[in-house]
Structure 1
Amino acid sequence: MEDILRPIYQERASQLNTLGVLLVEKKQKSAQTTDFFDVILLVIVKEADQPVFIKHYSYDDKKAAMHVVTEEKLQQWLLLGTNRKIFEWIEHSKIIFDRNEFVAHLKTELREFPFNGRKIKMGLEFAKLIRRYVDGKAFFESKQYLDAYNHVVHSLHHLARLAIIEHGLHPELTVWQQVKQIEPEIYKLYEELVNSEETLEKRLELLFLASEFLIHSRVHIGTSHLLNVLSRKDYWMFNEIMTEKELLPYSVDLSVLIEYLIDKHLIEVVNLETKGQGVYHRCYRLNKKTL
């Protein structure tokens, strides 16, 4: 297999722009990891016109896919978790080509999972969790139970991923299998939501009560990164928070997260006068009394 594909990856490896080439083979028990292709060739490059370029090949009644990905796009995936398969590709791949040990260092970094990287990823998962939880509760209160159920399932998923990262691990495709081992309480919540014979309304009501505690117990670890950034200034206008480079990944979840933290007295509102009488600029600052 590798011999057949050699001309393809050798051409890429000979280019100075290429940082590494990895080969991932399909495993029967987890064929979805490779999108049901027999082989994935992952080519990491410094830069390219397209951040992701994919090409498909056929050989000997088999199929292969080559993914050419820029270093920037790869780092984005690893930070945001928007392409979870990439973790398994890097972890379980064979290194075909490695310029200046780029891939070896990448594998080591993922395995060791530096604490600062964990803080950022926990912050992003917590922000998504709060967004889903708050929206789900609003749907529940307006008796839109199916929409509430959809949001609650997603909120539990983010809670599970947050717990996994908290334990120093990367969330895999089989998140619930991981959580069952390390945070059985969260797994039970999910099981009860999905399998309980209670009415949907009752299931959701019980889950909101139970998950409130689990979320509250993770507020400080889930917001450590955000609050650390906000501590650098006396107060912030919202647009300043939105455009702060370190906080850009929080994206659309930031507004809901800020309001949640105001409710929990971790952030407080500062009103600054405008030219209009009785109208104020709404700014935000860290509530240092609660730290």
Structure 2
Amino acid sequence: MEVMLRQLYQDKASEPDTLGILIVEKDAGFDSITDGQDVILLIIKEKGTSPWFVRHYEYLDKTVSMNIIDEERLFQWMISGANRRFIDWVFNGKVLFDRNEYVYYMKKRINDFPFEERQQKLGIEFSKLIRRYEKGKALYQSENYYDAFNHILHALHHQARLSVIERGFYPEITVWDQVKHIEPETFKLYQELLMGQETIEKRIELVLLANEFAITSKAQLGSMHILKIMNTSMDPWSISELMEHPELKEYSIDLELLVSFLVQKGAIEVIHNETKAKGIYHRLYECR
């Protein structure tokens, strides 16, 4: 198979901006690993003409998806958790080409999970946990239990990823297999939510309490990243300045909620600046 596939990727390997090429083949019965294709060819570029470009091929009875992605987009996905299958492909794919051991060090980076990247990912998962918890709680209180269930299930996923990251591991696609060994009490909550004998109302109530406890106990850890960034400036921050900061962009969609939470907890102080309109103030933020 590789001999035939080489015709597709050999030109890419000779291009100076190609950093690595990997192949991922479909496991029996697991089409989702390769998005329904028989083979994935992953080509990592230093700077592609497009951040992510896909082309489909067919030979004999096999389908091939060639994914060309630049390293900046791949790194963004690694931090944000979006398109986690790409990280799975990097980590588990067979290396066909590796310029200056780029892929080797990328795998090592995922394995080692540097502290700075860990801080950022903790902030992302923590803000998402708050978002899902608040939405789930509101739906539960309005007795929309099935919609609440969906949000609480997602909240529990973010809680699980927080636990994995906290212990220095990168959260894999099979995160619950990790959590089962790392934090069995959270895994039991997951089982209880899905398969418990109690009513859906009682199961949601149980996980809501666990989410609330996790948010309280992990607040310092989850807010470490944003507070560190805020401390880089002596001046108070506007919400737009925080949302536009390069390191906070990955979770800017949840940033307003996170800032409000930290104001309530006393970690962030609100500064009022007068506007031209009488009685109306700009709302700025700084660390206490």
TM-score > 0.5 by shorter chain? yes
Partner of 1:73: 73
Q: Secondary structure at the match of 2:248?
A: helix
CA distance in 2, matches of 1:142, 1:7: 59
| Alignment match, 2:224 | 224
- Equivalent position of 1:143 in the other structure: 143
CA shift digits 1:241-266 (9 cap, x unpaired): 11122211112100011111112221
Q: Residue 236 of structure 1: SS of its match in structure 2?
A: coil
State how far apart, in whole Å, the 2-side matches of 1:3 and 1:225 are. 47
Q: Which amino acid aligns with 2:147?
A: D
Provide the identity percentage: 48
Q: Deviation of residue 284 (structure 1)?
A: 1.2
SS in 1 for 2:100: helix
Mapped partners of 2:174, 2:88: distance in 1: 11
**CA deviation profile, 1:179-224 (whole Å, cap 9, x unmatched):** 1111111111121122222222222222212221122111111111
For 1:272, the equivalent position in structure 2 comes to 273
What secondary structure is seen at the aligned counterpart in 2 of 1:28? coil
Query: What corresponds to 1:54 in structure 2?
Result: 54
Greater shift after overlay, 248-257 or 267-276? 267-276
Quickly say closer, same or farther: Cα 1:174–1:30, change in 2 above 3 A.
Answer: farther
**Which one-letter code corresponds to 1:173 in the other structure?**
I
* Runs ≥4 residues deviating over 3 A: none
1:67-146 matches, cutoff 5 A:
67-146=67-146
2:207 maps to amino acid: L
- Where structure 1 has 5 or more consecutive residues not aligned to the other structure, the ranges are none
Query: What are the ranges of 5 or more consecutive residues in structure 2 without an aligned counterpart?
Result: none
Aligned residue in 2 for 1:255: 256
Distance 1:228 1:4 in 2: 51
Query: 1:168-187 CA distances to partner (integer Å, 9 max, x unpaired)?
Result: 22222212121111111111
In 1, Cα distance between the equivalents of 2:256 and 2:6? 49
Superposition CA RMSD, Å: 1.6
SS, match of residue 120 in structure 1 = helix
Structure 2: which amino acid aligns with 1:271? Answer: H
Higher mean C-alpha deviation, range 37-46 or range 114-123: 37-46
Q: TM-score, normalised on structure 1?
A: 0.93
1:165 aligns with 2:165: yes
- The aligned counterpart of 2:21 is 21
SS in 2 for 1:68: strand
CA deviation map 1:90-119 (0-9, x unaligned) = 112222112222222212211211111111
Partner SS state of residue 278, structure 1: coil
Conserved? CA contact 2:159–2:211, under 8 Å:
no
Matches within 5 A, 1:175-214: 175-214=175-214
DSSP-derived class of the 2:269 partner: strand
TM-score (norm 2): 0.94
